[in-house]
Amino acid sequence: PPESEGNLPLGEAQRLHRHVFPRLMDLTMGSGNAKKQRGEALAPAYGDVLEIGFGTGRNLPHYPAAVTSLTAIDPADLLPGKRDRRIAEARMPVERVGRGAETLPFENERFNCAVSTWTLCTIPDAVAAVREIARVLKAGGQFLFLEHGRSDDAKVARRQDRFNPIQRKLGCGCNMNRRIDAIIRRGDMEVMSLARYVMDGSPRVLGEMYRGTAKPAGT
């Protein structure tokens, strides 16, 4: 039998992961509503910033003038043409590092801010990634997050649990049912602000949003 990933032949799964899904997500995440959410989430950013799950660089136009440099972490190399054009057009210098966030190659207290947008849903060990973010943030530094995740409504949460295996396949590892605030707290962070809402125009199982700020615990 042919090699496969889940129920898909390996070649088809690779095409989905490398071409179809990235283009679909880049289009969806460029909508007016997504832009509004990014602008609100990134408004407090300043100084030297670490972004995990950089993707195709959709956040770049939404960073405020107070940001002086951006270090972008992502293990995937998807739509490099679009990504590199956005980096070239960025106001601040951008360094891209092709690796996962669970082990960051930076010294302690390196960054003023860290950013995660629609990313903690996909990282295999999200708690480890948040712990690493806490380690590399300076004293007084902030973690700015904009994520979708588990609903507080029990009926919606049950639907999320039911459909999550399908979502993981179609969404290249994306989970719709993670408690984002719990992950952040387990990652040695203290949540400073948290807004919960359903994103306009999204099905509720995918549009349950967590937007807020956190800081390393004890700082």
| pLDDT tens digits, one per residue of 116-154 | 999 999 999 999 999 999 999 999 999 999 999 999 999
Helix (H), strand (E) at residue 205: helix 204-207
CA 117, 7, 163, 55: dihedral to nearest 10 degrees? 10
Q: Which two tokens stand for residue 208?
A: 């349950």
CA distance 40 to 61: 12
Q: Which two tokens stand for residue 136?
A: 């590399």
Helix, strand, coil % over all residues of the chain, rounded to 5: 35, 25, 35
With beta carbons less than 8 A apart as the criterion, state whether 96 and 79 touch.
no
| Cα 45 to the center of its chain, rounded Å | 15
CA distance 119 to 73: 11
Q: How confident is the model at residue 30 (pLDDT cuts 50, 70, 90)?
A: low
* pLDDT at 22 (0 to 100): 58
Mean of the per-residue pLDDT values of the chain? 89
Helix (H, G, I), strand (E, B) or coil at 160: helix
